[in-house]
Amino acid sequence: MTASVQAAAKSEGAGGSRHPFQVRGALQTMLALRLIAPDDPDFFKLLLDKIAHAPDFFRDAPLVIDVAPIVEGAPIDLAAFTERLRAHRLVPIGIQNGSDAWNEAAAEAGLARFGAGGAAQERVAETPRKVTKAPAANGAVPAVRRGASRIVTEPVRGGQQIHAPDGDLVVLAPVGHGAELAAAGHIHVYGPLRGRAFAGIDGDEGAMIFCDQLDAELLSIAGVYMVNEAIDQRLVNRRARVTCDGERLLLAPMP
């Protein structure tokens, strides 16, 4: 019996009828584009400049449009706006923080409507964000945060998503390219970190990321992110600590 037939068989109802699909909940990390001045004549030029820093990261990325800063104003032409985003290989799927008028405009443009920004959504940019390197770590041990932590002992491979929704995430093995870690608290990787790591997904700017070998595709704390190309080359493949300082991430070597 093939896998597809097995799946269909498992979905048979009491009356013997088959369901050719399953509906499941899923946690997906999405980018969020916060609109400050969408009518700025340089809006798309500045956006393209940011995309150029990490084209592989942005290419075909699902995107939520955050209209919170302009929600009191009249809705823009979302159909035309999203068409321009798609022309640059972004995939807008909905808006968030919209009023009734904005949500109606989104529906007319075929976009989903989200409420307040979800924990797993990452801020693309309001303006280009400068990412700098922090001074050397002082060796201080971060305070243990409350909540259920999760410990993973097996390698995390590409395509896998490991989530610790209430506390820290500790991985005692390598994290491969294409893998994704997400935690409400700190993330500790006792091995190479080559995938994506999202700490402080509930907005905790005090969360940190620690790893024995830094080569991450993306680092994020409380929605502030850094792509691989922005990592100081002197820290690549070294033990490192990542912290959040307002609107930037700070990287520091660890002994």
What are the pLDDT digits (tens) for 194-205?
999 999 988 899
176: in domain:
yes
Say yes or no: 221 and 139 in one domain: yes
β-pairing, 132-133 vs 248-253, is: parallel
The per-residue pLDDT for 116 is 64
Q: Is 117 among the domain residues?
A: yes
For 121-146, b where at least 16 C-beta lie within 10 A, e where not — what string? bbbbbeeebebeebeebeeeeeeebe
Q: Residue 31's pLDDT is what?
A: 79
Task: Please name the residue ranges forming H helices in the chain.
Answer: 3-10, 43-53, 55-58, 78-87, 100-108
Structure tokens at 236: 């690549």
In this prediction, residue 23 carries a pLDDT of 76
In degrees, rounded to 5, the angle at the alpha carbon of residue 221 between the alpha carbons of residues 252 and 125 is 105
Check residue 51 and give its pLDDT: 82
65 in the same domain as 111: yes
Instruction: Kindly state whether residues 169 and 193 are assigned to the same domain.
Output: yes
Identify whether residues 141 and 73 lie together within a single domain: no
Region 220-225 average pLDDT: 88
Q: Collect all residues with Cβ–Cβ distance below 8 Å to 206 and sequence separation of at least 6.
A: 200, 244
**61/167 same-domain check:** no
106 to 35, 47, 221: CA distances (angstroms): 14, 21, 29
Which phi and psi (to 5°) does residue 189 adopt?
-120, 110
Length, in residues, of the chain: 255
In a shared domain, residues 171 and 79? no
pTM, two decimals, is 0.58
Within a domain: 68 = yes
Q: Does residue 189 belong to any structural domain of this protein? A: yes
Give residue 148's domain range.
Answer: 132-253
**Is residue 5 domain-resident?**
no
* Same domain, yes or no: 76 and 111: yes
Q: How many domains does the chain have?
A: 2
Residues 115 and 178 in one domain: no
pLDDT over 90 at 114, yes or no:
no
User: Which of 123, 154, 175 delimits the end of a domain?
Assistant: 123
9 assigned to some structural domain = no
Q: 83 and 47 in one domain? A: yes
Does one domain contain both 110 and 148?
no
Residues 182 and 246 occupy one common structural domain: yes
In one letter, which amino acid is 1?
M
Please give the Cα distance from 217 to 18 (Å, whole number). 41
Are 154 and 212 within one domain? yes
What does the pLDDT read at residue 27?
59
Q: Is residue 1 part of a domain?
A: no
- Per residue in 7-40, pLDDT (tens digit) is 443 444 445 567 788 877 665 667 788 899 999 9
pLDDT tier at 55, thresholds 50, 70, 90: confident
